[in-house]
A and B are shown apart, each in its own frame.
Chain A
Amino acid sequence: MENMTLKLKIWRQGGKYPKGEFVNYTLDGVNTHMSFLEMLDVLNEKLIQQKEEPIAFEHDCREGICGTCSLVINGYPHGPMQQTTACQLHMRHFRDGETVTIEPWRSRAFPVVKDLVVNRDAFDRIIQAGGYISIDTGQAQDGNAIPIEKDQASHAFDAATCIGCGACVAACPNASAMLFVGAKVSHLAQMPQGKVEKDTRVQRMIAQHDAEGFGRCSNITACEAECPKGISVEHIARLNRQYIGATLGSEKVAN
């Protein structure tokens, strides 16, 4: 069937403090080739025509790489398809007449801005706490000076592919951001260039993570299941080893 009618149950909230609620909409003429966000575009256009307030949702690249889109669809962050961001989800995966529930990420550390939009500044602050290699522009030696084993570079890449969307937090019953932190710690720890600062990095990033109000990790691994880039919880394991090593085995204390 090319055209469907959907019942949409969408979370509407005026801002950080006002109480939100689900509002129901019926949308006809949903083409199966549309992306999920294009379906929301069509709904918004209809609302604007009726002089109603359109639904606020965040999006940008619509190619699954910028990490801006952040919808919980039918209870799943980024929707029911594995390793797919909401912007890459297409309507062919829904049935005519289906009820689709759309909510924002829910976490104390991600306050709602409006409707489906949340504030993820906490992620930036975690990276600012130590998610980098301290090198000024112009100091670098030749790119081939240090060979890095192909597989090792590839494993580092598997972690570096994180798009910073926050689905891991939205999926976690504890609202923990350990997969996000683990991905960056693991990426940099596996590159020779990143080893120099590994002890302070992991301590600082964890301290910031906790200060932002994210929860503790209790190995539920929902984050891995919902991660649109398929980042494995083995990076959390590496983070834990690094953290234990840094706090017990090193005299360096992050401040």
Chain B
Amino acid sequence: MPFQSNVPSGELSEKWKQYRSSMPLVAPNNKRRLEVIVVGTGLAGGAAAATFGELGYRVKVFTFHDSPRRAHSIAAQGGINAAKNYQNDGDSVYRLFYDTIKGGDYRSREANVHRLAEVSVNIIDQAVAQGVPFARDYGGLLANRSFGGVQVSRTFYARGQTGQQLLLGAYQSLSRQISLGNVELFNRHEMVDLVMEDGKARGIIARNLLTGETERHAAHAVVLGTGGYGNVFYLSTNAMNSNGSAAWRAVKQGAYMANPCFTQIHPTCIPVSGEYQSKLTLMSESLRNDGRVWVPKSQEDAAAIREGRKTGLDIAEADRDYYLERRYPAFGNLVPRDVASRAAKTACDEGLGVSATGLAVYLDFDDAFVRYGKSRAHSLNEPNASKDRIRQLGVAVIEEKYGNLFEMYEKITGEDPYVMPMKIYPAVHYTMGGLWVDYNLQTNIPGLFAIGEANFSDHGANRLGASALMQGLADGYFVLPYTIGTFLSQEIRNPMVDPDGPAFMEAEAKAKARIDRIMNIRGTKSAETFHRELGKIMWEYCGMARNAEGLQKGRRMIRELRKEFWESVYVPGQVKEYNPELEKALRVADFLELGELMMLDALDRNESCGGHFREEYQSEDGEALRRDDEYAYVSAWEWDDTDPILHKEELIFENVELKTRSYK
């Protein structure tokens, strides 16, 4: 199978421009005859499907949700980056490119990242034109804020609901194409396999989730915008139904899975409260703009808080350790996510955690209340405002900025964050790894494309905040609609693909057999039970810190669990009906293979970089130790039941110098 990055030649800043002007095009009369299947309707899939429709392709779009608007992009809170430099603070396309490469700890492809930074500005324009109500300043122009890992303000936002507003923009564009008849929507349909014909991706087998019937859908190309696989950990900030199955089905057909061990653990999530916990909730990283992270300096104080004898308010200023500000003075509370998460883990490992479980640190807004309060008092001409008045004014400012997040915190924990400092702890949030793609976002299977979180391409070993929305929309609106032409222009002589052909019939029979097999085990344990067990293994051995011994053990445990799953899972109900338990079981079956590959990848990578921290490879003061001489490559895995095969794409850096990431 081909395995080339296909990065065009030329100057980094000119590559995309030149490539766009010279790539093969598909004439409008031919577009009408070419069919494209898009799986997933989040920012990437929704934007791509809408744009293909506008261009004139015949599009079929699939989502397992009841509506395209429910994709998990909707839950992104903080914002979207763009190199607009509206704030005149020194931002540029190059700086966004550089920050992203550096933030990703030099494990992403230069040309892809530069292209992302280039098109970032178009995304904001497009979203504004769609009516997205971004935050604005008093002059009526777009407002910005800063995010972790960077020193400029380039993040555009819509209160704490940026993902929702951008997704609704894409959804509305998609709805327009549906109403025009250019796009056909298949909601409540889940892809259960990829169909290959003559070595090319030619369609999918989908299960209609209302009736349980399988369906064959053919096209000239298949696009997966199916999101990440963070739910392999069971507890994550992903939505309950987010899964890796579409991508994994492609891997089972020969697609390579790239950097599967690169997982982002987000530092600011609401801590776990009990065994029944079903998911974790993120508190936007934007809170770190104004909140200060701390733990008590002494273990005695921490123990007193854990046992309920003291609260955070009882700890005097001098007895608090603002450890991010202490360890990383240059970036302070705004260090990148991987650094902030590990620092929280270190503090809790030292016995300084502040919740009953010992796994929480404080995120404190007290300083911000006073700072904003004073400023508001000044503009209200109240020079003698009392302490209480200042705090009251400050609380109002914070409420304006983050009101919905504070409310959400209170609903979940029952504690008022305007009074008590928030408690937070890191949780699985995003997967940088994904299907391997070339510069055209095509996988190693011709005709199969992957976009958004489903591919591996732009974030290296760590994603910067507010970059997921950027990448999803960049891929969907401004990259794939061009690059898919490189493949489809070769397909204009191919007639419609026949969904009743032998390849489709065989794929459907296989998919049905797999469903029947899982259904007929009729064992004793629910799919949920297996999922929880898998999650515990992943978090223990492939979580925030990993080591060779643990990874080997974890791999063995997953294999055992997988064996047990196929012997004793119990799926209630029938195949041919609405059956959420069956959907869950099929997804867990895939996670049980993917999890093993993640362990294997983490074991192969004998270095620490970004979200991947191997305990054997750290500096004396506990910082990550990257090994560029041996590991500056993308690991692209070919699945095999006994021994997956590793292919390496060497990363070539011509425009940035590889440095040790320092946020000190």
B-contacting residues of A (Cβ < 8 Å)? 15, 31, 33-35, 37-38, 41-42, 45, 47-49, 51-54, 56, 58-68, 81, 83-84, 88-90, 92, 113-114, 117, 119-121, 123-124, 127-129, 131-144, 146-150, 153-154, 156-157, 160-161, 163-164, 187-188, 191, 193-194
| Pairs A–B under 8 Å by Cβ, sample size 13 | A15-B577, A38-B278, A45-B528, A48-B572, A59-B240, A62-B240, A66-B70, A66-B72, A133-B172, A135-B130, A149-B136, A156-B131, A163-B164
- Which residue of chain B is the closest to A83 with respect to CB atoms? B407
The reply to whether B578 and A113 contact each other, CB–CB distance below 8 Å, is yes
The reply to whether B581 and A148 contact each other, CB–CB distance below 8 Å, is no
The reply to whether A143 and B128 contact each other, CB–CB distance below 8 Å, is yes
Q: Tell whether A150 pairs with B136 under 8 Å between CB atoms, given A38-B278, A60-B72, A193-B129.
A: yes
A157 to B481, CA, bound (A): 30
The reply to whether B54 and A49 contact each other, CB–CB distance below 8 Å, is no
The reply to whether B168 and A143 contact each other, CB–CB distance below 8 Å, is no
Set of chain A residues within 8 Å of B66, measured between Cβ atoms: 58, 68, 119-121
A47 to B528, CA, bound (A): 13
Set of chain B residues within 8 Å of A51, measured between Cβ atoms: 570, 572
Other 19 A-B pairs with CB < 8 A, given A60-B72, A136-B54, A143-B125 = A31-B276, A42-B276, A48-B526, A62-B239, A62-B281, A65-B164, A90-B414, A113-B210, A127-B172, A133-B172, A140-B122, A140-B128, A140-B129, A143-B128, A147-B136, A148-B140, A157-B158, A187-B131, A193-B131
Which of B175-183, B314-322, B556-564 is the interface stretch? Answer: B175-183
The reply to whether B165 and A160 contact each other, CB–CB distance below 8 Å, is yes
B241: CB under 8 A from chain A?
yes
A113 to B173, CA, bound (A): 28
User: In angstroms, how far is the closest chain A Cβ from the Cβ of B235?
Assistant: 12
B313: CB under 8 A from chain A?
no
Q: Tell whether A128 pairs with B176 under 8 Å between CB atoms, given A120-B66, A138-B122, A143-B125.
A: yes
A163 to B67, CA, bound (A): 11
Set of chain B residues within 8 Å of A42, measured between Cβ atoms: 276
Set of chain B residues within 8 Å of A63, measured between Cβ atoms: 75, 239, 281-282, 408
Set of chain A residues within 8 Å of B408, measured between Cβ atoms: 63-64, 88
A96 to B648, CA, bound (A): 59
Set of chain B residues within 8 Å of A33, measured between Cβ atoms: 273-274, 414
The reply to whether B168 and A137 contact each other, CB–CB distance below 8 Å, is no
A133 to B168, CA, bound (A): 11
The reply to whether B131 and A133 contact each other, CB–CB distance below 8 Å, is yes
A58 to B84, CA, bound (A): 40
User: In angstroms, how far is the closest chain B Cβ from the Cβ of A154?
Assistant: 8
Q: Which of A124, A143, A157 contacts B159 (CB 8 A)?
A: A157
The reply to whether A144 and B175 contact each other, CB–CB distance below 8 Å, is no
The reply to whether B414 and A141 contact each other, CB–CB distance below 8 Å, is no
B135: CB under 8 A from chain A?
yes
User: In angstroms, how far is the closest chain A Cβ from the Cβ of B124?
Assistant: 4
Q: Which of A45, A60, A119, A160 contacts B70 (CB 8 A)?
A: A60
Set of chain B residues within 8 Å of A142, measured between Cβ atoms: 125
User: In angstroms, how far is the closest chain B Cβ from the Cβ of A54?
Assistant: 6
The reply to whether B172 and A65 contact each other, CB–CB distance below 8 Å, is no
User: In angstroms, how far is the closest chain A Cβ from the Cβ of B183?
Assistant: 10
B602: CB under 8 A from chain A?
no
A157 to B51, CA, bound (A): 25
B92: CB under 8 A from chain A?
no
A223 to B69, CA, bound (A): 21
A133 to B131, CA, bound (A): 7
B74: CB under 8 A from chain A?
yes
Set of chain B residues within 8 Å of A84, measured between Cβ atoms: 411
The reply to whether A131 and B172 contact each other, CB–CB distance below 8 Å, is yes
Set of chain B residues within 8 Å of A15, measured between Cβ atoms: 577-578
User: In angstroms, how far is the closest chain B Cβ from the Cβ of A65?
Assistant: 5
Set of chain B residues within 8 Å of A143, measured between Cβ atoms: 84, 124-125, 127-128, 134, 142
Set of chain A residues within 8 Å of B578, measured between Cβ atoms: 15, 56, 113-114, 117
- Which residue of chain A is the closest to B164 with respect to CB atoms? A65
Count of CB-CB pairs between chains A and B under 8 Å: 210
A107 to B541, CA, bound (A): 49
B234: CB under 8 A from chain A?
no
The reply to whether B276 and A54 contact each other, CB–CB distance below 8 Å, is no
- Which residue of chain B is the closest to A34 with respect to CB atoms? B276
A-contacting residues of B (Cβ < 8 Å)? 47, 50-51, 54, 65-70, 72, 74-75, 84, 86, 122, 124-131, 133-142, 158-159, 161, 164-165, 168, 171-173, 175-176, 178-179, 185, 187, 210, 239-241, 273-274, 276-279, 281-282, 407-408, 411-412, 414, 477-478, 481, 526, 528-529, 570, 572-573, 577-578, 580-581
The reply to whether B277 and A147 contact each other, CB–CB distance below 8 Å, is no
User: In angstroms, how far is the closest chain A Cβ from the Cβ of B417?
Assistant: 15
A45 to B276, CA, bound (A): 11
The reply to whether B173 and A132 contact each other, CB–CB distance below 8 Å, is yes
Set of chain A residues within 8 Å of B481, measured between Cβ atoms: 137
Set of chain B residues within 8 Å of A92, measured between Cβ atoms: 414
Set of chain B residues within 8 Å of A187, measured between Cβ atoms: 131, 133
The reply to whether B129 and A141 contact each other, CB–CB distance below 8 Å, is yes
The reply to whether B142 and A144 contact each other, CB–CB distance below 8 Å, is yes
Set of chain B residues within 8 Å of A83, measured between Cβ atoms: 407
- Which residue of chain B is the closest to A142 with respect to CB atoms? B125
Set of chain A residues within 8 Å of B478, measured between Cβ atoms: 137-138
Set of chain A residues within 8 Å of B69, measured between Cβ atoms: 67, 124, 164
A54 to B69, CA, bound (A): 27
Q: Which of B54, B70, B164, B279 contacts A62 (CB 8 A)?
A: B279
A114 to B75, CA, bound (A): 26
The reply to whether B526 and A49 contact each other, CB–CB distance below 8 Å, is yes
Q: Which of A38, A48, A135, A156 contacts B570 (CB 8 A)?
A: A48
The reply to whether B133 and A157 contact each other, CB–CB distance below 8 Å, is yes
The reply to whether B581 and A48 contact each other, CB–CB distance below 8 Å, is yes
The reply to whether A41 and B178 contact each other, CB–CB distance below 8 Å, is no
Q: Which of B86, B141, B240, B412 contacts A90 (CB 8 A)?
A: B412
A47 to B581, CA, bound (A): 12
Set of chain B residues within 8 Å of A188, measured between Cβ atoms: 131
Q: Tell whether A54 pairs with B572 under 8 Å between CB atoms, given A129-B179, A147-B141.
A: yes
A52 to B176, CA, bound (A): 43
- Which residue of chain B is the closest to A194 with respect to CB atoms? B131
Q: Which of A41, A121, A154 contacts B278 (CB 8 A)?
A: A41
A141 to B68, CA, bound (A): 27
Q: Tell whether A60 pairs with B65 under 8 Å between CB atoms, given A88-B412, A90-B414.
A: yes
User: In angstroms, how far is the closest chain A Cβ from the Cβ of B239?
Assistant: 4
Q: Tell whether A132 pairs with B65 under 8 Å between CB atoms, given A137-B51, A149-B140.
A: no
A37 to B412, CA, bound (A): 12
User: In angstroms, how far is the closest chain A Cβ from the Cβ of B571?
Assistant: 9
Best-buried of B172, B210, B526, B529 by chain A (most CB within 10 Å): B172
A120 to B66, CA, bound (A): 7
The reply to whether A193 and B130 contact each other, CB–CB distance below 8 Å, is yes
User: In angstroms, how far is the closest chain B Cβ from the Cβ of A239?
Assistant: 16
A171 to B132, CA, bound (A): 28
The reply to whether B134 and A153 contact each other, CB–CB distance below 8 Å, is yes
Q: Which of B124, B136, B168, B239 contacts A148 (CB 8 A)?
A: B136
Set of chain B residues within 8 Å of A54, measured between Cβ atoms: 572, 580-581
A188 to B75, CA, bound (A): 21
- Which residue of chain A is the closest to B68 with respect to CB atoms? A124
